[in-house]
Amino acid sequence: MPFNFPRFTLSKAMVSGFNKAYYLRIRDGGQTRIKPLEEFFFPLDKIHNWNRLYGKSGFHQFQCVLPDDRLPELRAMVEMIAESGLASPLAVLKRLGTDAAGMMSFPMQGYTLAVDFRESDKARKLIKKLNAATLEAGGRIYFAKDSLATEAEAKAMYPNWAIWAEEVNKADPEHKFETDLTRRLGLRSI
């Protein structure tokens, strides 16, 4: 992307048209292609400065994971996104396997949903609702993509945070390796 795209690029009409064209590119009988793993798993790596698609203001990515038995809540979240009128050029739904072993690991058995939104007040308000719905459904958000969660939400979604904080504070008592994320979410304060 040689420049920041104008706001209309990600309008509902433009994204809808792109999605329709993308869908129609596959013949009715389907299509099979063998791709190298890097190309399959990292398609955006081929587009230098892809983030400029969102314009100067940038974007937020919301990503959550909900347990297997909370599919109705996940569907309600997808409907909330659709009804918001915010066009998203990127949405990914994946199935995750068993829970990760780390105290602060994101994965849990269930489904993860990731959606990009151009930065705006409306996007921040929607993400706030999505964070609340994630918490209510017993899920969690992905910290690596978060900039809007509250301390209370983060601590409720990651119930082992205090045990983790104790261990980290023992290893780094002077907080030399503390990050903006852990400060914002109070994850090292016990």
Report the CATH number at residue 132.
3.30.70.260
Asked whether residue 1 is assigned to any structural domain, the reply reads no
Strand order from edge to edge, sheet including 140-141: 91-96, 110-118, 59-67, 140-141
Q: Which of 13, 135, 16 is nearest to 77 (CA)?
A: 135
Q: What is the mean predicted confidence (pLDDT) over 88-112?
A: 89
- Residues 57, 95, single domain; the answer is yes
Tokens coding 64: 């959550």
Query: Does pLDDT of 167 surpass 80?
Result: yes
Parallel, antiparallel or unpaired: strands 110-118 and 91-96: antiparallel
CA atoms of 94 and 105, how far apart (whole Å): 17
Sign of the dihedral defined by the CA atoms of residues 104, 105, 111, 116, in that order: positive
Structurally, how many domains does the chain consist of? 2
Q: What pLDDT sits at residue 127?
A: 97
Q: What pLDDT sits at residue 8?
A: 65
Asked whether residue 2 is assigned to any structural domain, the reply reads no
Asked whether residue 76 is assigned to any structural domain, the reply reads yes
- Residues 138, 68, single domain; the answer is yes
Q: What's the pLDDT tens digit per position in 15-36?
A: 677 777 777 777 777 777 788 8
- Residues 104, 38, single domain; the answer is yes
Question: What's this model's pTM, rounded to 2 decimal places?
Answer: 0.82
Domain that holds residue 64: 7-159
